[in-house]
Structure 1
Amino acid sequence: MTIPPTETTTTGTTPHHLPSQIQKPPLHTLLSTHDFAHAASLTFPPKTHAFVTSAATGLVTHRSNSATYSLITLRPRILRDVSRVSIRTSILGSPVSSPIFAAATSLGITVHPEGEKEIGRACKRLGVGMTVSTSASFSVAEIAAAVREAGVEGNDEEGGGEIPLWFQLYVDKDRTKSEQLLTQACEAGGVKAVFLTVDAPVPGKREADERISASEAVGLLSGTGGVVVPMTGEKAENDKFGGGLGRITGKFLDASVNWEDIAWLRRCLPRESGVKIVLKGVQTAADAVRAMEAGVEGIVVSNHGGRSLDTATPTILVLLELQRCCPQVFERMEVLIDGGVMRGTDVFKALCLGASGVGIGRGILYGLGYGEEGVRRYVEILNDELETTMKMCGITSLDQVHPGLLNTRAVDHLVPETVEEEHPYAKWRPSMRKKVT
């Protein structure tokens, strides 16, 4: 059978009609993360595929997030005893079996009926961390319960223990709703950290998602044909701009959130709970320093997977910027990263540049197309590639990673040299122009 070519978000569109005879490739035949992405392009419902894969406007940042990793090369060391390696580590004070964690993703139920609950079960059995989004398909309490109830299969020694759950907060214009969500997340969900989303004050323009009616979304159809996000109660229906789920269900976002709101967030958390605050979406050294000075426990270097502001800097370059301009932040708080990670070598490079954890977003949803087993296989493929990379580079544990194992010269010219916001030579200011009246 010849499968006709389908358009994907690489051209800004998405398949509208999938041949009914296409069968999902057997899970055991998927050998790389790219295989999962291809399987999703063939088998996801059109609206689901558009929502999961779409990115902002021209997709420049979406592509460069991944492509920039290939410009950084490895410098292997030889004749080391690498017969045994370990990728166990800790993130935000919690022990995990791998530095890879499930980044926050929205509306998982459009991919699988059990949505984020299946992701949680997979993370439990893998022994890795999971971030739950405000836009998840189930409450934090429901997801936490699924995690607690998940057993351990066979002689799996890697997973099975308690895993860290983190809550990704989108601040609501009605702050009381956010305060209620935080209480539920901390008390019923037992989350150990709150990831305050700072890279999406408003939803980005994702054209592939806009092109398909919101009523075609699978899994969250209400009686009136709209899509409802359970945790926020927001309903997505087409408007004059199209049917973008991210934009329509993000109408509740509070664009006024600013640095002073970190104190508000701290007050919302249970006293003496030990719940950490992490800023998700730091994209410059200047903001990393300000986050450090604000006393947060961590940051996620992220541009929302290229879904918010197109032509924003690839995240691995931001990590290099932090190393060059403000290396002290790595000592004062935890630095995580997400965006564009497709190979174990990508994970390794991020770790060598100071990241203590690497988030996977879209890929987790690709795996979710096969349920819990698919999520597990997706992460296990990356884990295996990471272990292979470590052995090839002559190290046996993650406390041995360092920047000297990388050659970054191909991208060094793209990395700012100071933490200042000034352009190196352009000094123009709006005041030089005639004022608009």
Structure 2
Amino acid sequence: MHSSFVSLTLLGSALAARPFLNEPDTGFDEFFSSLAPGELPPLDQLVGLPDFDAAARRHMSTQNYTYYRNGAAGEWSYRNNLEVFNRYVLKPKTMVDVTNIESTLPTTILGHNFSAPFFISPCARGGYGNVDGEKGLVEGAAAGDILYMPAIYASLTIEDIATYKTDDQVTFQQVYLDGNDTATQLIFDRIQKSNSKAIVFTIDSAADGNRHRAARYGVGSADSSYTLITWDLYDHLRTMTDLPIILKGIQTVEDAQAAVEHGVPAIYLSNHGGRQIDGARSAFEVAIEIHQKAPEVFSQLEVYADGGVRYGADVVKMLALGVKAVGLGRPFMYANVYGTEGVTRAIEMLKHEVAIDAANAGIADLHKIDTSVVS
């Protein structure tokens, strides 16, 4: 498996000169050619997650769309996040009874039950795509029974988001922290009062993101200061709350192993959507490194990952490496242009794709998936 990964990585480098397609050509432009400028296509005529990107790009102002779309510098990491999955191929098994695959979609995340092994990643400024802000994300997650992780820089406050939650809905709250105990305790208290069940501490934003596209339109990083983020700080933060603190932005096997040593309950592999430093590997590639060098990490704590996920097969490949749950950010922000119905529709689409892609790969049970299906 190691040699296959290496050879395919080299092959991917050789193909780097070919044109990059932000949205695949599946006939979207021709099919919706009669739409007026800015008009959204009928929701029931969208067929996959990339359609939401295409719809949002045509509907949103250039400035607002740029905030969601931008990546760091020349945006290689952004493009690599999208393209990396197809450098690692599936090896479908046949003659397998896959008729019960949908019943294996439900999973637990930190002990909480959800209907699928994917979630809505933290993304700021929901109001750029919808005047109701994150309302559609909260309600869509509840309707689809998946996890939503609101961002601390959401358009709505922690308290506003809580008002849209159903009584039994589980959310995890994302935060940036700077070591100021007074400010941190205030945020932790607000999170506890909102009934969030975990804190997602973003650690891959120690400095401003080098975002040229965003700078051009005046929609740069929300968190732009130099920030002290250390293991000593994490150990201290754990004394300030009873909630589990997940570390988001792990990008090396060494940091994953250090997380185990420090008793972190879960890590979140991410390169911040390719928005912080260009050239950073995708979370999928980091998961491969962990699988190769320290596979025990996947059983020592829960591992989540995001970055470039657009298809059910992408989720299947992540799960095959040992990832517990897979995050998606931009697709749900684009779906939120349609509000709750759009987010709900996107969740339904992805559930269906995960199930049929797993079935076509010869996987009978997503809980028993392993690396034999990917190379």
- TM-score scaled by structure 2? 0.87
Please say if residues 178 and 228 of structure 2, whose CA atoms lie closer than 8 Å, have aligned partners that are also in contact. Answer: no
Given the alignment, which residue of 160, 170, 186 partners 1:164?
Answer: 170
Deviates more, 1:109-118 or 1:356-365: 109-118
Pair 1:350 & 2:368 matched = no
- Cα gap change, 1:263 to 1:173, in 2 (>3 Å): closer
Alignment map for 1:305-384 (pairs within 5 Å)? 305-384=273-352
User: Unpaired runs of 5+ in structure 1?
Assistant: 1-7, 11-18, 150-161, 213-242, 408-437
Q: Give the equivalent residue in structure 2 for 1:60.
A: 76
User: Unpaired runs of 5+ in structure 2?
Assistant: 1-19, 23-34
Question: How far did 1:66 drift?
Answer: 1.4
Given the alignment, which residue of 109, 128, 132 partners 2:146?
Answer: 128
Alignment map for 1:132-211 (pairs within 5 Å)? 132-148=150-166, 162-172=168-178, 174-186=180-192, 188-211=193-216
Question: How far did 1:9 drift?
Answer: 11
- Cα gap change, 1:21 to 1:323, in 2 (>3 Å): closer
Q: Give the equivalent residue in structure 1 for 2:17.
A: none
User: Normalized per residue, which structure has more helix?
Assistant: 2
Paired letter, 1:124: A
Pair 1:263 & 2:241 matched = no
- Cα gap change, 1:134 to 1:9, in 2 (>3 Å): farther
Question: How far did 1:93 drift?
Answer: 1.1
Alignment map for 1:95-110 (pairs within 5 Å)? 95-110=113-128
Please say if residues 9 and 208 of structure 1, whose CA atoms lie closer than 8 Å, have aligned partners that are also in contact. Answer: no
Pair 1:40 & 2:56 matched = yes
Question: Partners of 1:400 and 1:68 in 2: how far apart?
Answer: 24
Number of matched pairs: 342
Question: Partners of 2:362 and 2:36 in 1: how far apart?
Answer: 48
Question: Partners of 1:118 and 1:39 in 2: how far apart?
Answer: 17
Higher Rg: 1
Alignment map for 1:75-94 (pairs within 5 Å)? 75-85=91-101, 86=103, 87-94=105-112
Structure with larger RCO (C-alpha < 8 A, sep 6+): 2
Question: Partners of 1:327 and 1:173 in 2: how far apart?
Answer: 32
Question: Partners of 1:38 and 1:139 in 2: how far apart?
Answer: 28
Give the CA RMSD over aligned residues.
1.8
- Cα gap change, 1:183 to 1:9, in 2 (>3 Å): farther
Please say if residues 89 and 398 of structure 1, whose CA atoms lie closer than 8 Å, have aligned partners that are also in contact. Answer: no
Please say if residues 9 and 54 of structure 1, whose CA atoms lie closer than 8 Å, have aligned partners that are also in contact. Answer: no
Question: Partners of 1:71 and 1:21 in 2: how far apart?
Answer: 36
Please say if residues 98 and 128 of structure 1, whose CA atoms lie closer than 8 Å, have aligned partners that are also in contact. Answer: yes
Question: How far did 1:250 drift?
Answer: 1.9
State the Cα deviation string for residues 55-113 of structure 1 (Å, max 9, x = none).
Answer: 00010010001101011111112122222222111111111000110000001011112
- TM-score scaled by structure 1? 0.75
- Identity level (%): 30
